[in-house]
Amino acid sequence: MGRSHTLAFHFILTLSLGFIFSGHASADLRDIDAVLQKLRERATAVESISSEFSQESHLSVFEETIISSGRFLFRKPDKLRWEYLSPTTEGFALEGDQGVRWTETTRTSFSLRSDPLMNVVARQLLAWATFDLAWLSAEYFITLEADSPVLLKLVPKGSDTALVLKHLLIEFSLSSTTVQRVELHEQDGDLTRILFENSQVNTPLDDGMFR
């Protein structure tokens, strides 16, 4: 897995936030506590998420921007799929505590009980997907940067995450209730920008997509 994909893989736990957020009136958005509470209430109705994405990786070790694309799937209570489809194929799928990761030439099964890294990634991603407000408040300082379009900034509280991640930016579309951009700003100046399209909430997702 290339460095740009590895970085995004480690931080995919942030992505589900964008699909659970929904549009609110500007007056409500001025009160971050009210926004978070509404998001938590809204999250209870989210059973599944499906979206296509394109990713731009601006890394100091490369002169050119690295472009890739793929899709993200989530289904309650504990099913996940994150995969890159271009320019290479790689990703992982998870059902309960059993999962599989793959590249163009390999496919390997794993268990969260014996894979500490995947256990952390899955635990945090599921917390975001279900909008566990207690967990989010413990992990991030969340501020409202703008309300037209809505722009949130998340700064990690934990020292381990803060060593790598400076902050996140999440921007919403003016004409829809889903996120249109997520940016991961790293401490060394590198930037990963993920743009979403064709996002769908609560559509049927086959069990086979998570195996």
Helix (H) / strand (E) containing 54: strand 48-58
Band (22; pLDDT cuts 50, 70, 90): very low
Higher pLDDT, 143 or 24: 143
Band (112; pLDDT cuts 50, 70, 90): very high
* 153-208 pLDDT tens trace: 889 998 777 888 899 888 776 644 556 788 989 999 999 999 988 888 899 999 99
Tell me how far apart the alpha carbons of residues 19 and 183 are, in angstroms, rounded to a whole number: 15
Band (15; pLDDT cuts 50, 70, 90): very low
pLDDT of 21 over the 60 cut: no
Contact in structure between 179 and 170 (CB atoms under 8 Å): yes
Higher pLDDT, 131 or 70: 70
Average pLDDT over residues 142-155: 80
Say what the pLDDT of residue 137 is.
76
Average pLDDT over residues 99-110: 95
Average pLDDT over residues 110-121: 86
Say what the pLDDT of residue 155 is.
92
- Percent of the chain residues past pLDDT 70, beyond the cut: 77
Query: 65: domain range?
Result: 3-210
Band (6; pLDDT cuts 50, 70, 90): very low
Which segments of the chain does DSSP mark as H helices, in order?
Answer: 3-10, 16-20, 26-29, 32-43, 116-129, 133-139, 159-162
State the pTM of this model. Answer: 0.77
Other CB atoms within a 10 A radius of the CB of residue 83 amount to 16
Tokens 């934990």 sit at which residue?
158
Tell me how far apart the alpha carbons of residues 206 and 211 are, in angstroms, rounded to a whole number: 10
Tell me how far apart the alpha carbons of residues 111 and 122 are, in angstroms, rounded to a whole number: 11
pLDDT of 83 over the 90 cut: yes
Average pLDDT of the chain is 79
Other CB atoms within a 10 A radius of the CB of residue 190 amount to 19
Other CB atoms within a 10 A radius of the CB of residue 137 amount to 13
Q: How many domains does the chain have?
A: 1
What's the CATH number where 187 sits?
2.50.20.10
Say what the pLDDT of residue 159 is.
78
Helix (H) / strand (E) containing 60: none
Contact in structure between 130 and 150 (CB atoms under 8 Å): no
Tell me how far apart the alpha carbons of residues 101 and 155 are, in angstroms, rounded to a whole number: 29
Average pLDDT over residues 37-58: 83
